[in-house]
Structure 1
Amino acid sequence: MTSRAEIDEAYANASHIPGGMEYPARWAAAAAAFREDHPPQEIAYGDGARQRLDLFRPEGPARGTVVFVHGGFWRAFDKSAWSHLAAGALAHGWAVAMPSYTLAPEARISSMTREIEAAIGAVAGAVPGKLRLAGHSAGGHLVARMACADLAPGWRDRVERIVPISPLADLRPLIVATMNDDLRLDMAEAEAESPALRDQVDLPMTVWVGAAERPAFIEQAWLLAGRRNCPLVEAPGRHHFDVIEELAEPDSPLMTALLS
């Protein structure tokens, strides 16, 4: 049986990335600078303190909306750290929505799934047109959950593509991880909240992962892509922290996959 120490090491990122501990400050600074030039509209999608999303609108009518759900192992970050990643889609005339959601230990993952469902519903009400969903790590898990048959959101027929980036698709290994002291996953919830274990609806999906990521994340990406029978891209040279940078680049391969 895999030990807690082995699982913790398998999913550790910062210690395996040069300068890994510097990334959160870099993200926050880039996001703050972007918001100064592109002030978002904040929309409440519920009564909770973190049930808020930032909506960035392009010049002129939006072609649709990209929803980006942040990562952080369901325990860290909020919408304000990722604003700069809206640049790529905005340049193509898409609105971009970035929701916060209630984190563990205050909330369980099953509740976060419902919050993201509600957040996308609020986005669908605010901006007409098609939806594209992207999420990173835990956010990749949450957008992949939106394609599971146990959910039936009224907005799902507007979704043209989902791109989970470095997603966590099978939560069962995390039951023994230290992070589960906060997540409080038991086997029933881990199975119910694992996109790789749920029946799926027919939505276009492309799974994206960095080729230089930890093996556990590459395995999780392949597991989801296999379950979905959908394309998987291993981005050359990208690790878990820089794999999302192409969202800020209008003509990057990741943006092409998301918007094509």
Structure 2
Amino acid sequence: MLYHVTDWDDAYANTVHIPQGEGFFARWQDASARFRDAYPPKALGRGHLFRPDGPARGLMVFVHGGYWMETTPDLWSHLAEGALARGWAAALPGYALAPQARIAQMVHQVAAAIAEAAGRIGGPIVLTGHSAGGHLAARMICDDATLPDSVAARVTGCVPISPISDLRPLLRTAMNDRLRLDPAQAASESPALLTPRPGIPVTTWVGANERPEFLRQARLLADIWAGLGAATDCVVEPGRHHFDVIEGLERPDSPLMERVLG
């Protein structure tokens, strides 16, 4: 069957294609507020750093999504729960949003937050993120010195969840009025068009019930980076859509958390 996109705005729309999609944001807000009450975070620039009881086994970084235009780490605090339960610290970087910032600026802000967290937490570092945050997580391990070498040397895995790995299709969407991408910037900030650092395993993770573009984008990154020598996998989780595919991060024994920390 031919795959042909004729409505690029709809291709990247999620809420309208998920039953009761609008309700997820209120639930996340409540869950995150309760989690911060139980586990008060330390400040990390625009974001948060959660520490486990006792010495941390390592540092998990979760980069939030929102199409680089919406949300803050406050909406996603509860996703640190699985890591903390396993004795890991969890960093949730914040970054300036479009249109006030361009994606290249966000990349550098996230990298700076990770470097700051790495200076406060020892051990291995694993990177994950969702949607636009999946893009930013993957962007961290490109070989253009986005992360300082000393920090990148500690990264033992990267799991972009439902990532947008090639930004060029967004040039055809209305959201680009705020993102302000041009063809050169879309290419220079697309992980799928860049080379990964060697030695870091990469798993893209996506829900089987997601929009076809997110399935394509997840497979694209895994396939292209495998061709560049990276150890890659693409996991399509049955029954999951774009909003509930991240829920495994709340459970220390979920398949997603096993892959992130494994």
Bin of the TM-score, shorter chain as denominator length: over 0.9
TM-score by length of 2: 0.94
Shift of the alpha carbon at 1:53? 2.0
Q: Distance in 2 between matches of 1:199 and 1:231?
A: 16
Q: Distance in 2 between matches of 1:53 and 1:156?
A: 20
Question: 1:1-260 alignment to 2 at 5 Å?
Answer: 6-44=7-45, 52-152=46-146, 153-154=148-149, 155-202=151-198, 203-229=200-226, 230-260=232-262
Letter of the 1:192 partner, please give it.
S
Secondary structure of the residue aligned to 1:142 is helix
Secondary structure of the residue aligned to 1:20 is coil
Letter of the 1:167 partner, please give it.
P
Shift of the alpha carbon at 1:204? 1.1
Q: Distance in 1 between matches of 2:55 and 2:47?
A: 20
Shift of the alpha carbon at 1:130? 1.0
**Where does residue 229 of structure 2 map in the other structure?**
none
TM-score by length of 1: 0.94
Shift of the alpha carbon at 1:105? 0.2
**1:222-248 alpha-carbon deviations (Å, 9 max, x no partner):** 000101221110011000000000000
Secondary structure of the residue aligned to 1:206 is strand
Shift of the alpha carbon at 1:151? 2.2
Q: Distance in 2 between matches of 1:151 and 1:226?
A: 22
What is the aligned length? 251
Shift of the alpha carbon at 1:90? 0.6
Shift of the alpha carbon at 1:97? 0.6
In the TM superposition, structure 1's runs of 4+ consecutive aligned residues that sit over 3 Å from their partners are none
**1:118-159 alpha-carbon deviations (Å, 9 max, x no partner):** 010001111111101000000000010011111252310010
Q: Distance in 2 between matches of 1:126 and 1:208?
A: 28
Secondary structure of the residue aligned to 1:231 is strand
Q: Distance in 2 between matches of 1:43 and 1:194?
A: 26
Secondary structure of the residue aligned to 1:105 is coil
Letter of the 2:261 partner, please give it.
L
Moved more, 144-153 or 134-143: 144-153
Q: Distance in 2 between matches of 1:226 and 1:54?
A: 33
Shift of the alpha carbon at 1:43? 2.4
Q: Distance in 1 between matches of 2:44 and 2:217?
A: 33
**1:34-78 alpha-carbon deviations (Å, 9 max, x no partner):** 11111001122xxxxxxx221111011000110100000000000
Output the aligned Cα RMSD. Answer: 1.1
Q: Distance in 2 between matches of 1:151 and 1:7?
A: 32
Unmatched runs of 5 consecutive residues or more in structure 2: 227-231
Unmatched runs of 5 consecutive residues or more in structure 1: 45-51
